[in-house]
Amino acid sequence: MGREREAPQKPQQQQEEVVSYTVEQLVAVNPYNPDILPDLENYVNEQVSSLTYSLDANLCLLRLYQFEPERMSTQIVARILIKALMAMPAPDFGLCLFLIPERVQMEEQLKTLIVLSHYLETGRFRQFWDEVAKNRHIVEAVPGFEQAIQAYAIHLLSLTYQKVPRSMLAEAINIEGLSLDKFLEQQVSSCGWTLEKGHGQVQLIVLPSNEFNHPELKKNTADSIPLEHVTRIFPILG
């Protein structure tokens, strides 16, 4: 649940029981009330610190910024976009970006996040991690960022491949050496991965079977593959 805000109190002689509302309730009742803008900004920071996420609340804040541009915080907008990147493959980043004026998108840190989004959408993980390394000051303020992107990279690989070379996985999740060995041990024990040797003793990671990387598991219905999956497979195949 979101942070609670107390309703304004009445004079003492008329005072009734104080009612508390969650941020989500405030958004649902009166999403265009600028008075809730500070609550929504605080809620963004709470999402960051508590590793939670509310797209609806963040979209509401971006809409309010459109009506109150002088109150816009670039730092808050950047955090919203970072949380949206962490939600991939959900299309949240594009939904948020649509509500951000172009002049604001030209802010340096927001331009960087847009570039990062493009790299993720096109499966260009090496470029993505290189760009992150050059801009750690932007993303390091949001805990869980790297882990969320690593999960997305693995998700994308699993839609396309039955087996991936160790080097490809290392590039996609930006982990190498002993750290990658430990990561693989965890995945083998808890996620059903297996390891085998390929040609030239190359280590191969065998990913769990699903209807996307094993054609024989696919359904015959035309709607068996969600469109968002199809659009994200094509860049890797290219």
- Flag the least confident range among 20-29, 159-168, 185-194: 20-29
d(CA 128, CA 139): 12
Give pLDDT tens digits for 33-47: 899 999 999 999 999
Q: What is the pLDDT of residue 4?
A: 53
The CA-atom distances, in angstroms, between 135 and each of 46, 105, 113, 131 are 23, 16, 9, 6
Q: What is the pLDDT of residue 28?
A: 87
**Among the listed residues 144, 89, 90, 137, the one whose alpha carbon sits nearest the alpha carbon of residue 113:** 137
Strands (E), 82-192: 163-165
Please say if the pLDDT value at position 19 is more than 60. no
Q: What is the pLDDT of residue 210?
A: 85
DSSP3 helix / strand / coil % (the chain, rounded to 5): 65, 5, 30
Give pLDDT tens digits for 127-157: 999 999 999 999 999 999 999 999 999 999 9
* pLDDT band with cut points at 50, 70 and 90 for residue 212: confident
- Indicate the helix (H) or strand (E) that contains 20: strand 20-22
